[in-house]
Structure 1
Amino acid sequence: MWEYAFIPYPPAGAGYWTPVTSTLNWCEEDYYASIYFAEIVNSITNFLFLLLGVKGVISCRKNGHDSIFQIAFLGYLVVGFGSFLFHSTLKYPMQLVDELSMIYTTCLMVYATFSYSKSVRYRTILALSLLGLAIFITLYYHYIQNPVFHQNAYAVLTIVVVVRSMYVMETTLRPSWRKKGREPQSQQRQTYEDARDLKILNTMWVMVVYGLAAFLGGFAIWNLDNHFCSRLRGWRREVGLPWGILLEGHGWWHLMTGIGAYLYIVWGIWLRHCLRGRQEEYRLAWSHFYSIPDVVRVSDSDKPVNGSAKLGASHQNGSAMKIH
């Protein structure tokens, strides 16, 4: 069977976009499959960003999600397209499009996370501060051209926004952590809301852990790709095509971070609706781990009446996920 599925790797060489001007070059050999793609696997794995980005934009428009999340999905699209151009050409300008769009999109999520229910003055100062930060990162990175600076800046921004979102999620949905001053509820309604929100919270934590596992797993594979590049290249040539594609670690990084980033934006959308007390109007449609989640509007016929319906229905607990 292996004999019939073995295609020897063509030799790497020069291509249409030669010479390489980027400050980074990955473990995938250059121009071995096509003269038009410097790194073909690292290029085509970015199609996941394009597909999920389009899905996210359509969902935002269809379900009435806040415009900041539609902009975030457009940024997610730009990240994927920029990465596609970068890995296709290995040109420095395309590298900047790829890497800086990651910073800008994360800054948008920082704004979405910290601006909710704040005054106009606060939101204006936050927006200007993030704009100034993005400009500083852009200019300084272009000056030093050190990828480690970009990676650290992206990591810090991501950690800040994820930790903040976790805090907001807990204080919004966990009954024992909710802020005081809420209007008194009937015992039946209070019991219903507590059970509903705890179920939403549990599913959100599943989403958070899943997203973090995707990010960290992709990062680990990428680092293995960097440290054992010469050995991996040898293995690829031993197993040939198409099996050698499975040993392209940076391609796995694209797929796993694409999933993780998409999950984070969807989580942000769902959390925003919960902050507004709209748990009855929206639910998470996520049937299995291997399916693509989406926050969708609940039809009037599916909404519970007076909060007294049973909690087993997916539209009431905010999730249609089945954990197997």
Structure 2
Amino acid sequence: MSSMLSWPYPSGALSGYWRPVTSTINWCEEDYYATPYSAELINSLTNLWFIYLAQRGIRNCLSQRHDRIFLWAFSSYLMIGVGSFIFHSTLKYPMQLLDELSMIYTTCILFFATFEHGLEGRNRVLLGVLVGGIAIFVTGYYHYLGDPVFHQNVFAFLTAVVFFRSLWKMEKTLRPSRRMSVQGVSAAEQARRDRRDGDILRAMWKMIPFGLLSVASGFLVWNLDNIYCDDLRRWRRAVGLPWGILLEGHGWWHLLTGVAEYFNIVWSIWLRHCLDGRQDEVELRWPTMLSSMPEVVRKSSHAKIKQR
């Protein structure tokens, strides 16, 4: 179907620059229909969202002097976007590993960040060895198996561990009814701290459902894209370009999970400041829920920004 508002998909695939396909996964987007230089154009381009959010997070970590572990987390998050861009452009197996293993490494970094707080010396080193061992084992065993389901299960398990551990630490640290009272603090000061932490807790509980909804929506679309691939390809060709792009489910997976992982790292940064007792030094800057992305800033920096 062609009209002034759309044009038909090409009748056949172009000769792909990166052929042959060597990856163990080939997604629902048709290969090389738009350009010979990108096997899955939309699946590649949607990773620019990952890259944008990653550089935003890296700049925030540097300018606001957050703990270095989160700079590593955002750097690994950047590699997810870069790796996925290259993978979907080429559909080569080594690039598939770069894409998928970067997801594991980012989660391992957050795993370390979640459990290392309060550890010192030998215990901290042992945790690092454990997390490094997990990353090495998953890398080797996944390469040996070549089964994407193994990668998906490990990623889901590690993510769940990090999430529920962070949730427990958040509630224990910030909810007044669940934390130990501080000796030598006046009643007025304690009341102020309770109000402050209550406000932080409510803000975090706004972030958490937003991130969960993003990843759940992405997971749903990802599965629908796999299950109904033949129908989706037919519908795309029926509506033509550019509207068919909106039916590229794996591209939506990139956009939605990019948001979810960004929220997860920002939440971890804010929680770390709270665990260190620095609630009065930082705040969350999130002007609007639907048209902006949150970031943790030093209150002095925030004041300077407002004065510009």
The residue type equivalent to 1:147 in the other structure is: P
Given that 1:69 and 1:269 are in contact with CA atoms closer than 8 Å, whether structure 2 keeps it comes out as: yes
- Residue 38 (structure 2) aligns with: 37
- Residue 256 of structure 1 aligns to a residue whose secondary structure is helix
Q: Percent identity?
A: 56
The 5 Å alignment of 1:11-90 reads: 11-90=12-91
Deviation of 1:287 (Å): 1.1
Deviation of 1:115 (Å): 0.2
Deviation of 1:7 (Å): 1.1
1:142 matched to 2:143? The reply is: yes
Given that 1:286 and 1:294 are in contact with CA atoms closer than 8 Å, whether structure 2 keeps it comes out as: yes
- Distance in 1, matches of 2:137 and 2:97, equals 14
Taking only aligned residues, the RMSD between alpha carbons, in angstroms, comes to 1.4
1:152 matched to 2:146? The reply is: no
- Residue 283 of structure 2 aligns to a residue whose secondary structure is strand
Deviation of 1:12 (Å): 2.3
Unaligned runs of 5+ in 1: 303-313, 315-324
Deviation of 1:153 (Å): 0.3
- Distance in 1, matches of 2:69 and 2:186, equals 35
- Residue 216 (structure 1) aligns with: 216
The residue type equivalent to 1:37 in the other structure is: S
> Greater RCO between the two (CA within 8 Å, min separation 6)?
2
- Residue 295 (structure 2) aligns with: 294
The residue type equivalent to 2:236 in the other structure is: R
- Residue 52 of structure 1 aligns to a residue whose secondary structure is helix
Aligned in 2, Cα 1:301/1:138: closer, same or farther, shift over 3 Å? closer
Given that 1:14 and 1:31 are in contact with CA atoms closer than 8 Å, whether structure 2 keeps it comes out as: yes
Aligned in 2, Cα 1:277/1:232: closer, same or farther, shift over 3 Å? same
TM-score (norm 2): 0.95
The residue type equivalent to 2:8 in the other structure is: P
- Distance in 2, matches of 1:301 and 1:95, equals 40
Deviation of 1:195 (Å): 1.0
Deviation of 1:187 (Å): 1.4
- Residue 78 of structure 2 aligns to a residue whose secondary structure is helix
Given that 2:14 and 2:35 are in contact with CA atoms closer than 8 Å, whether structure 1 keeps it comes out as: no
- Distance in 2, matches of 1:60 and 1:12, equals 43
- Distance in 2, matches of 1:27 and 1:91, equals 16
Unaligned runs of 5+ in 2: none
1:190 matched to 2:190? The reply is: yes
The residue type equivalent to 2:191 in the other structure is: T
- Distance in 2, matches of 1:301 and 1:163, equals 30
- Residue by residue, what CA displacement relative to the aligned partner does 1:132-159 show, whole Å, maximum 9, x if unpaired? 1111111111011000000000000000
Q: Give the paired residue count.
A: 301
Deviation of 1:227 (Å): 0.2
Deviation of 1:183 (Å): 2.4
- Residue 106 (structure 1) aligns with: 107
- Residue 295 of structure 1 aligns to a residue whose secondary structure is strand
Bigger helix share: 2
Deviation of 1:14 (Å): 3.3
- Distance in 1, matches of 2:225 and 2:13, equals 18
Aligned in 2, Cα 1:300/1:288: closer, same or farther, shift over 3 Å? closer
- Residue 29 of structure 2 aligns to a residue whose secondary structure is coil
- Distance in 1, matches of 2:275 and 2:136, equals 31
The residue type equivalent to 2:185 in the other structure is: Q
- Residue 299 of structure 1 aligns to a residue whose secondary structure is helix
- Residue by residue, what CA displacement relative to the aligned partner does 1:214-258 show, whole Å, maximum 9, x if unpaired? 001100000000000000000000000000000000000000000
The residue type equivalent to 2:124 in the other structure is: R
- Residue 30 of structure 1 aligns to a residue whose secondary structure is coil
- Residue 69 of structure 1 aligns to a residue whose secondary structure is helix
TM-score (norm 1): 0.91
- Residue 283 (structure 1) aligns with: 283
The structure 1 segments of at least 4 consecutive aligned residues displaced by more than 4 Å after TM superposition are none
- Residue 183 of structure 1 aligns to a residue whose secondary structure is coil
Given that 1:14 and 1:30 are in contact with CA atoms closer than 8 Å, whether structure 2 keeps it comes out as: no
- Distance in 2, matches of 1:14 and 1:229, equals 22
